[in-house]
A and B are shown apart, each in its own frame.
Chain A
Amino acid sequence: MDRAYSRTRIVIMLSIILALIMADHLRSPTFAFNSGQGNVETALSQRDETACAPCGAPCPSTRD
């Protein structure tokens, strides 16, 4: 059976995704915190228990 994909494309795609994740992480507060910078708020244990939906939306009753 012939292969249905190109190995090179797979490697390039996954490398791009990994590079994007790294680029995003390197400029994040969590990376700054891990690098020893204090007074940085990270989202690691963030919970918004007052939100009305998993996406953080407020309740309709609280809107003007």
Chain B
Amino acid sequence: MADTAVLQPGLQQPGWQVDRFIVSTALLGLVLLGGLIWLETAPFMVALFVIGTLLGMALYHGAFGFTAGWRNLVVKKRGAGMRAQLLLFGLTSLIMVPMLHSGQAGLVGAVAPVGTSLVVGSFLFGIGMQLGGGCGSGTLFTVGAGNIRMVVTLVFFIAGAVLGSIHLPWWLDQPGFDPVPLVNTFGVSGAILMQLVGLGLIAWWVNRIERKAHGNVERGELLWKSQSHGMLRTLLSGRWPFTWAILILAVGNALTLAIGGAPWSITFAFNVWGAKALEVVGVNMAQFEFWTWEYPAMALKDSVLTNIPSVMNFGLLLGAMLAAGLANRFNEASRNRPEGRQFLAAVVGGLLLGYGARLGFGCNIGALFSGIASASLHAWVWFASAFVGSLIGIRLRPWFRLPN
């Protein structure tokens, strides 16, 4: 029988069921871990944990997947998902670039060097996105929602990230140059304007592809109201219109910057988790240059509860689990068991995601989303290079028996 229950009076609407077990377990996990963070670290870490939870809910309920958005544009010639991402980047750029240059001490943008490491890393990441079935945020929120294939992707994502951390110093020695913050050249307004023009040009290109293929442009990214349910039910059980997810993701990243001092990032935590696991089995990570750098060395030595990306990732996982329970869809994606080649795609994709994220200075969130929100040139190079990699990944998917 179904493990579901009709909501209590007050929340009850026809046909709406929640998975009580998953919702209760996710809430218990949030209370336990939130309490532990409160007791052992500082209130601002609890705030970041809550933000991570809300971001996880927004990603799940908004079905905000970077990977599927790119694939829909290439395969189905539909651009709503891609335009939603462009809107998100534009809005966040408007909020966060002035924040970063307001003169407030302690705020650091997501800027990174531009060079061989970035181009190769983001290209590999793009292939991995399509084979692994998600980017950094996509992998995490689908794991939180109980997707078994994505658990495999996450495990190899972590393995790839650790391998990438060992190789990164070598890649950094290949041709490249220091970070290029657009604000240094164009000023705050100029940098924002340049980025908006860039995003607008991409949106024009996306529209052109869609109109050429279908004769029209679906404006799904502009919907602000659910087509099928009321406001409260949509808020709790999804699916959210893109605009809601865009607002929550933009505000969430800005709050992460304001509270944590740096924009939202995900994949550094995977490095830390993998390196800690290797240390447990006796590997001395300090023999690798990456783990002697100040920030990684400190993160490795101290508790994961003091590491902002880790704490936000924990929140994101539990937030996605809560959202999947409220939607009564926990583990739905695993109903059809993946076959051999699909698991192989998760392994290969996960490794490419992890290795690529480390070389490329982050994933769709840390490098692309937060990079554009920081007006850094590296984010644009990352975008182009990952998109090219993604085109190859899409071509490889049929061999792995993955639907396009």
B107 nearest CB across to chain A (Å): 10
What is the total number of residues of chain A having a CB less than 8 Å from a CB of chain B?
A: 39
Known: A25-B304, A31-B303, A60-B178. A53 touches B361 (CB 8 A): yes
| CB contacts between A and B, total, < 8 Å | 146
A44 touches B41 (CB 8 A): yes
Known: A25-B40, A53-B111, A57-B112. A48 touches B305 (CB 8 A): no
B136 nearest CB across to chain A (Å): 12
What is the total number of residues of chain B having a CB less than 8 Å from a CB of chain A?
A: 63
Q: Which among B80-88, B169-177, B215-223, B236-244 touches the partner chain?
A: B169-177
B262 proximal to A (CB < 8 A): yes
B4 proximal to A (CB < 8 A): yes
A52 touches B265 (CB 8 A): no
Interface residues of A in 1-35 (CB under 8 A from B): 1-5, 7, 10-11, 14, 18, 21-22, 24-25, 28-31, 34
B108 nearest CB across to chain A (Å): 6
Bound complex: CA A57 to CA B108 (Å) = 14
Bound complex: CA A56 to CA B178 (Å) = 13
A4, A18, A34, A41: the one within 8 Å of B331 (CB): A4
A54 touches B265 (CB 8 A): yes
B29 touches A14 (CB 8 A): yes
B268 touches A54 (CB 8 A): yes
Interface residues of B in 158-193 (CB under 8 A from A): 165, 168, 172-173, 176-179
Closest to A44 in B: B306
Bound complex: CA A58 to CA B165 (Å) = 13
Q: Which among B202-210, B290-298, B341-349, B391-399 touches the partner chain?
A: B290-298
B307 touches A52 (CB 8 A): no
Closest to B296 in A: A56
A52 touches B305 (CB 8 A): no
Bound complex: CA A22 to CA B106 (Å) = 30
Which residues on B sit within 8 Å (CB–CB) of A55? 165, 168, 268, 271, 290, 295-296, 358, 361-362
Bound complex: CA A5 to CA B305 (Å) = 29
A18 touches B32 (CB 8 A): yes
B2 proximal to A (CB < 8 A): yes
Bound complex: CA A47 to CA B165 (Å) = 19
A39 proximal to B (CB < 8 A): no
Which residues on B sit within 8 Å (CB–CB) of A44? 41-42, 45, 302, 306
The proximity string for B residues 274-295 relative to A, scoring 1 for CB distances below 8 Å and 0 otherwise, is: 0010000000000000100111
Bound complex: CA A18 to CA B37 (Å) = 12
A18, A30, A34: the one within 8 Å of B33 (CB): A18
A4, A21, A29, A57: the one within 8 Å of B293 (CB): A57
B115 touches A60 (CB 8 A): yes
A56 nearest CB across to chain B (Å): 3
Which residues on A sit within 8 Å (CB–CB) of B36? 21-22, 25
A46 proximal to B (CB < 8 A): yes
Bound complex: CA A18 to CA B25 (Å) = 13
Which residues on A sit within 8 Å (CB–CB) of B302? 28-30, 42-44
A8 nearest CB across to chain B (Å): 11
Which residues on B sit within 8 Å (CB–CB) of A43? 298-299, 301-303, 306-307
Looking at A10, A21, A54, which has the most chain B CB atoms within 10 Å of its CB? A54
Q: Can you sample 17 A-B contacts with CB below 8 Å?
A: A2-B1, A5-B331, A7-B3, A14-B29, A18-B32, A21-B304, A29-B302, A30-B303, A44-B306, A54-B262, A55-B165, A55-B358, A55-B361, A60-B172, A60-B177, A60-B178, A63-B172
Q: Rank and list the top 4 A-B pairs by shortest CB-CB distance, nearest first.
A: A56-B295, A28-B303, A43-B302, A53-B112
